[in-house]
Amino acid sequence: MAETAWARFEPKMKEICDLDRVLALLGWDEETCLPGPGRAARGRQAATVEAIRHQRLLAPELEEAMAELEASPELTPPQRAMARLMRRRKRLASRIPEPLVKALAEARSPALGAWQEAKRSRQVGPFLPHLEKVLSLVRERGRALAEAGQDPYDALIDEFDPGTTQALLTPVFSRLVAALVPMLDRLASRPEPKAVFHQRFAVDRQIELGQTIAAELGFDLERGRQDRSAHPFCESIGLDDVRFTTRFDEDELTESLYGTIHEVGHGMYEQGFDRAFEGTELAKAPSMGLHESQSRLWENLIGRSRPFWARYLPLAQKLFPEALAGVSAEQAYQAVNVVRRGLIRVDADEVSYNLHIVLRFELERALIAGDLEVRDLPAVWNQKMKEMLGVVPAHDGEGCLQDIHWAGGAFGYFPSYTLGNLYASQLMAAYEREHPAVWSDVEAGRHAPLREWLRAKVHARGQSASAEQIVRDATGSGLDAAPFLAHLERKFA
Amino acid sequence: MAETAWARFEPKMKEICDLDRVLALLGWDEETCLPGPGRAARGRQAATVEAIRHQRLLAPELEEAMAELEASPELTPPQRAMARLMRRRKRLASRIPEPLVKALAEARSPALGAWQEAKRSRQVGPFLPHLEKVLSLVRERGRALAEAGQDPYDALIDEFDPGTTQALLTPVFSRLVAALVPMLDRLASRPEPKAVFHQRFAVDRQIELGQTIAAELGFDLERGRQDRSAHPFCESIGLDDVRFTTRFDEDELTESLYGTIHEVGHGMYEQGFDRAFEGTELAKAPSMGLHESQSRLWENLIGRSRPFWARYLPLAQKLFPEALAGVSAEQAYQAVNVVRRGLIRVDADEVSYNLHIVLRFELERALIAGDLEVRDLPAVWNQKMKEMLGVVPAHDGEGCLQDIHWAGGAFGYFPSYTLGNLYASQLMAAYEREHPAVWSDVEAGRHAPLREWLRAKVHARGQSASAEQIVRDATGSGLDAAPFLAHLERKFA
pLDDT in tens, B404-435: 999 999 999 999 999 999 999 999 999 999 99
From residue B404, give the alpha-carbon distance in Å to each of A401, B115, B131, B345.
45, 7, 11, 12
Tell me how many residue pairs between chain A and chain B have CB atoms under 8 A apart. 112
Q: What is the pLDDT of residue A230?
A: 83
Counted residue by residue, chain B has a size of 493
Chain A residue with Cα closest to B25: A26
* Cβ-contact A398, A270 below 8 angstroms: no
Q: Closest by alpha carbon to B105, among B35, B59, B39? A: B39
- Using a CB-CB cut-off of 8 Å, the residues of chain A touching B278 are 41
Q: Flag the least confident range among A143-147, A202-206, A333-337, B70-74.
A: B70-74
pLDDT band at A73 (very low <50, low <70, confident <90, very high): confident
Helix, strand, or coil (residue B73): coil
Chain A residue with Cα closest to B37: A240
B204 to chain A, minimum CA–CA distance in Å? 15
A199 to chain B, minimum CA–CA distance in Å? 26
Q: What is the pLDDT of residue A214?
A: 98
Q: What is the pLDDT of residue A275?
A: 97
B27 to chain A, minimum CA–CA distance in Å? 12
* Cβ-contact B391, B343 below 8 angstroms: yes
Write the residue in A14, A35, A224 that is nearest to B35 by C-beta: A224
Helix (H) or strand (E) holding A246, with range, is strand A242-246
Instruction: Give me the phi and psi of A63, to 5 degrees please.
Output: -60, -45
| Annotation marks residue A61 as catalytic | no
Q: What is the pLDDT of residue A347?
A: 86
Between chains, do A238 and B279 touch, taking CB under 8 Å as contact? Answer: no
pLDDT band at B3 (very low <50, low <70, confident <90, very high): low
Q: What is the pLDDT of residue A136?
A: 97
From residue A28, give the alpha-carbon distance in Å to each of A348, B34, B49, B233.
25, 12, 18, 21
- Using a CB-CB cut-off of 8 Å, the residues of chain A touching B14 are 44, 48
Amino acid letter for position A332: A
- Using a CB-CB cut-off of 8 Å, the residues of chain A touching B26 are 22, 25
String of DSSP letters for A405-471: TTTTT-TT-THHHHHHHHHHHHHHHHHHHH-TTHHHHHHTT--HHHHHHHHHHTGGGTTSS-HHHHH
Amino acid letter for position B468: E
Q: pLDDT, tens digit, for every residue of A181-234?
A: 999 999 999 998 999 999 999 999 999 999 999 999 999 999 999 999 988 999
- pLDDT at residue A1 tops 80: no
From residue A242, give the alpha-carbon distance in Å to each of A21, A92, B49.
11, 26, 20
Helices (H), A244-371: 254-271, 288-296, 306-319, 329-335, 353-369
Q: pLDDT, tens digit, for every residue of B96-127?
A: 988 898 899 889 889 999 999 999 999 999 99
Q: What is the pLDDT of residue A363?
A: 98
- Give the β-pairing of B242-246 and B224-228: parallel
pTM of the model: 0.92
Q: What is the pLDDT of residue A2?
A: 54
Write the DSSP symbol of residue A301.
I
* Cβ-contact B453, B435 below 8 angstroms: yes
Amino acid letter for position B338: V
Return the ∠ at Cα B281 (arms to B280 and B286), rounded to 5°: 140
- Give the β-pairing of A242-246 and B234-236: unpaired
* Cβ-contact A354, A176 below 8 angstroms: yes
Amino acid letter for position B349: D
Write the residue in A48, A225, A240 that is nearest to B19 by C-beta: A48
Q: How far is it, in rounded angstroms, from Cα A41 to Cα A38? A: 6
- Using a CB-CB cut-off of 8 Å, the residues of chain A touching B37 are 222-223, 240-241
Q: How far is it, in rounded angstroms, from Cα B115 to Cα B121? A: 10
From residue A316, give the alpha-carbon distance in Å to each of A219, A254, A296, A347, B7.
19, 11, 22, 20, 62
pLDDT band at A144 (very low <50, low <70, confident <90, very high): very high
Q: Closest by alpha carbon to B27, among B185, B188, B234? A: B234
Q: What is the pLDDT of residue B2?
A: 54
Q: What is the pLDDT of residue A299?
A: 97
Q: What is the pLDDT of residue A493?
A: 84
Q: pLDDT, tens digit, for every residue of B274-318?
A: 999 999 999 999 999 999 999 999 999 999 999 999 999 999 999
Q: pLDDT, tens digit, for every residue of B457-480?
A: 999 999 999 999 999 999 999 999
Q: How far is it, in rounded angstroms, from Cα A290 to Cα A467? A: 6
String of DSSP letters for B175-204: HHHHHHHHHHHHHHTSPP---TT-S---HH
Between chains, do B45 and A21 touch, taking CB under 8 Å as contact? Answer: yes
Amino acid letter for position A79: Q
- Which residues does residue A227 pair with via DSSP β-bridges, in sequence order? A245
From residue B316, give the alpha-carbon distance in Å to each of A396, B15, B299, B322, B402.
45, 45, 17, 11, 28
Task: Mention every residue, 6+ apart, whose C-beta is less than 8 A from residue A229.
Answer: A31, A32, A245, A246, A247
